[in-house]
């Protein structure tokens, strides 16, 4: 539980004890895979933390565990992860993603079950695809992506995101549409619509997603930024650089 209480700073941008990840920024054309930016150490596998909410959303909508942007609303129950006050209330998919509600993620994985969670993760070719959790702890459904068994590098995040944007994961079309709705940033940046998810843990801060330009129909850029800072810090740094990276 000690590791969980620290690791569950999942994308909230709250202070952490330490970060060990080296900086990486990777950006690629989603269609061709051509690198546009590839700086730093991008091949080291790290815990996905709350960036795993994007694949969880895809799984949930495909499997019928999630219905739309607002439903299902699940009640908060005693015993759920609750150290953030906003988590101590009912949540639906939209607020789950916005507030990075850990217990809602865990309810999705419980409803999917271990076999389906593992099958989807392998189908997505998501990093090492290991959702078994800690050895002997039987906690894969609650912990595997939070500093435990599941690992993915920034380069592998890019490969996964290309498959998401290209709709190559063999999912229902609505799953892609709804997941994109949940992770869309409310403002455009330099003419780019931003779709992304943060993640924070002791080892890494993440911001991953894709870009679509309002004046360049059909063009999409996938990105992954990781490094020694919280997910919100990675997001803010990326968005501040974006106009210069993609003029």
DSSP sequence for 175-243: HHHHHHHHHB-SS-BTTEEEEEEEEE-SS-EEEEEEEEETTSTT-EEEEEEEESS-HHHHHHHHHHHHH
Q: Which of 40, 56, 27 is nearest to 199 (CA)?
A: 56
Q: Which residue has the higher pLDDT, 10 or 115?
A: 115
What is the structure's pLDDT at 203? 92
- Average pLDDT for 206-212: 98
What is the structure's pLDDT at 15? 39
The tokens 């607020």 sit on which residue?
Answer: 95
Domain ranges of the chain: 2-11+18-245
Q: What is the pLDDT of residues 217-242, one digit of tens each?
A: 889 999 999 999 899 999 999 999 99
Q: Which of 241, 244, 226, 201 is nearest to 15 (CA)?
A: 201
Q: What is the pLDDT of residues 43-65, one digit of tens each?
A: 999 999 999 999 999 999 999 99
Contact present, 14 and 6 (Cβ < 8 Å)? no
pTM of the model: 0.92
CA–CA separation, 198 vs 219, rounded Å?
Answer: 23
> Is residue 70 predicted with pLDDT exceeding 70?
yes
Residues facing residue 105 across a β-bridge: none
> Is residue 5 predicted with pLDDT exceeding 50?
no
> Is residue 151 predicted with pLDDT exceeding 90?
yes
Active site members: 50
Helix (H/G/I), strand (E/B), else coil: 148? coil
> Is residue 87 predicted with pLDDT exceeding 60?
yes
Q: What φ, ψ does residue 81 adopt, rounded to 5°? A: -60, 120
CATH code of the region 2-11+18-245: 3.40.710.10
Sign of the Cα torsion 75, 76, 78, 80 reads: positive
> Is residue 94 predicted with pLDDT exceeding 80?
yes
């Amino acid at each position: 539980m000690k590791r969980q209480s620290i690791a569950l700073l999942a994308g909230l941008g709250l202070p952490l004890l330490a970060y060990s990840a080296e900086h990486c920024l990777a950006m690629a054309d989603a269609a061709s895979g051509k690198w546009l930016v590839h700086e730093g150490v991008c091949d080291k596998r790290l815990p996905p933390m709350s960036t795993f909410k994007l694949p969880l959303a895809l799984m949930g909508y495909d499997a019928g565990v999630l219905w739309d942007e607002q439903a299902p609303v699940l009640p908060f129950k005693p015993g759920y992860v609750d150290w953030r006050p906003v988590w101590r209330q009912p949540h639906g998919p939209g607020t789950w993603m916005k507030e990075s509600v850990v217990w809602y993620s865990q309810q999705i994985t419980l409803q999917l079950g271990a076999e389906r969670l593992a099958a989807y993760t392998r189908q997505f070719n998501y990093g090492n695809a290991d959702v078994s959790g800690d050895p002997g702890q039987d906690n894969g459904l609650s912990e595997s992506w939070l500093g435990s068994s599941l690992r993915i590098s920034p380069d592998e995040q890019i490969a996964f995101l290309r498959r998401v944007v290209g709709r190559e994961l063999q999912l229902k079309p609505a799953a892609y549409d709804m997941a994109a709705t949940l992770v869309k940033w409310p403002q455009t940046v330099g003419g780019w619509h931003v779709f992304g998810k943060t993640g924070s843990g002791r080892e890494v801060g993440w911001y991953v997603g894709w870009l679509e330009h309002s004046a360049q129909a059909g063009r999409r850029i996938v990105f992954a930024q990781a490094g020694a800072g919280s997910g919100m810090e990675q997001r803010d740094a990326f968005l501040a650089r974006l106009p210069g990276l993609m003029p």
